[in-house]
Amino acid sequence: MGIRFRLIVMNFMQFFVWGAWLISLGGFMIITLKFTGGQVGGIYATMGLSSLFMPGIMGVIADRWVNAERLLGICHLIGSYLLFRASMVTDPDSMYWIMLLNAMFYMPTIALNNTVSYKVLEQKGFEIIRIFPSIRVWGTVGFIAAMWLVDIFGWTESPLQLYISSAAALFLGIYAFTMPACPPSRSRKKGMLSSLGLDALVLFKKKSMSIFFIFAMLLGAALQITNAFGSAFLSDFKTLYPGTFGVEHPNVLLSISQVSETLFILTIPFFLHRYGIKKVMIMSIFAWVLRFGLFAFGDPGSGLWLLILSMIIYGMAFDFFNISGSLFVDKEADAGIRANAQGLFMIMTNGLGAYIGGTGGGWVIDHFTVDGLKDWQSIWFCFAAYVLVIGVIFPFAFRYNHRPETLEKMHH
């Protein structure tokens, strides 16, 4: 079995584990377990909480003491047990603590998976920048495959989605131990602050960067909202539109977002080079306004096309802020702190941003819930208004002159 194929399997399974529950767990908790919006938002916010410190801590361990592939395996084996436990839980407090522990061991594996991929490709003499994207794209395929599997078998509102994820994590945990050895590079005596990505705090001295990071955090909140509540929203149409595609297959409908994401990634070099980070971020912000606004007007009946359009727009909303933002941070950071700067960007978006989105989104949903009935149109309008306010302020707050020639290094 070729090493490229083995890395494809690893990347596929890495995101299959997540895709099995990330998009549908919110619906299961709201519809089947009768959790409130605040409780579900809090449980989703555990991923943000974990992303603040756990990837950095695991990075230190992989840098200094434990082979990266073994640490990846250990994290997934622990995650497998925790997901199995979560499948048997029916109260919000227990679910919160188990999913917090699961997030503490899953979130670092995203970076560890990349570390193992890079090290193995380097050992085998491959050109990482040329080869890795064609391997990593299988991660998105794995995420979509898991969503479809859970949907087609009718497990979107069942604890079986957690069993599937647990079994996949068990397989990946064992599989990771069979990967080529990726020993710690002990030569780099990095301090704890440096390893946690905090060297990059120096970027906050630049006004443009500090403003950029604040807006990245505020947009990170938008991403978590549809992850947590999209499935529950579609399931609430059961009585109005019984038997329709959107109600029967919410995960398949929502997976169009991930397909769109893979296509929009390909357009980023063109848009960044032509328009610059400021205009690309503005496009992303207004794509988020449309994402939520179309949810407000759409339904699984005659309004299905509005929901599908919202899924397609998600690709631009996500990629133009997440991937473009990452490239911008790489360009603006000095060579010595680039890895740390990426860690800081992740903390702002997937850490603080995801925490704000999960908890804030939960409050909004509870505010518009009366006698168990959710006023979804008002909920989505509220989220759209939130991003619209960001969109109005951003062009005035973020001052950055686009010079196409400075973007050349993004392509190389």
Q: CA–CA separation, 285 vs 388, rounded Å?
A: 7
3-state secondary structure of 219: helix
pLDDT for the residue 325: 83
pLDDT for the residue 224: 86
Q: CA–CA separation, 368 vs 388, rounded Å?
A: 20
pLDDT for the residue 138: 92
pLDDT for the residue 190: 57
Tokens of 326: 């990452």
Sign of CA dihedral 22, 89, 163, 233: negative
Per-residue pLDDT of 85-117, as tens digits, reads 999 999 999 999 999 999 999 999 998 998 899
Angle between helices 37-51 and 354-367 (to 10 degrees): 170
Per-residue pLDDT of 260-278, as tens digits, reads 988 888 888 888 888 888 9
Strands (E), 287-411: 369-370, 373-374
Sign of CA dihedral 43, 256, 275, 328: positive
Tokens of 138: 């299988």
CB contact burial 98-121 (16+ within 10 A = b; e otherwise): bbbbbbbbbbbbbbbbbbbbbbbb
pLDDT for the residue 255: 94
Q: Three-state secondary structure along 223-236?
A: HHHHHHHHHHHHHC
pLDDT for the residue 186: 64
pLDDT for the residue 136: 86
Chain centre to alpha carbon of residue 20: 14
Tokens of 273: 């080079």
Cβ within 8 Å of residue 28, ≥6 positions away: 156, 157, 158, 159, 161, 231
The parts of the chain modelled with pLDDT lower than 70 are 129, 186-199, 335-336, 338-339, 402-412
Question: What are the chain's domains?
Answer: 1-184 (1.20.1250.20), 194-412 (1.20.1250.20)
180, 3 contact by CB (below 8 A): yes
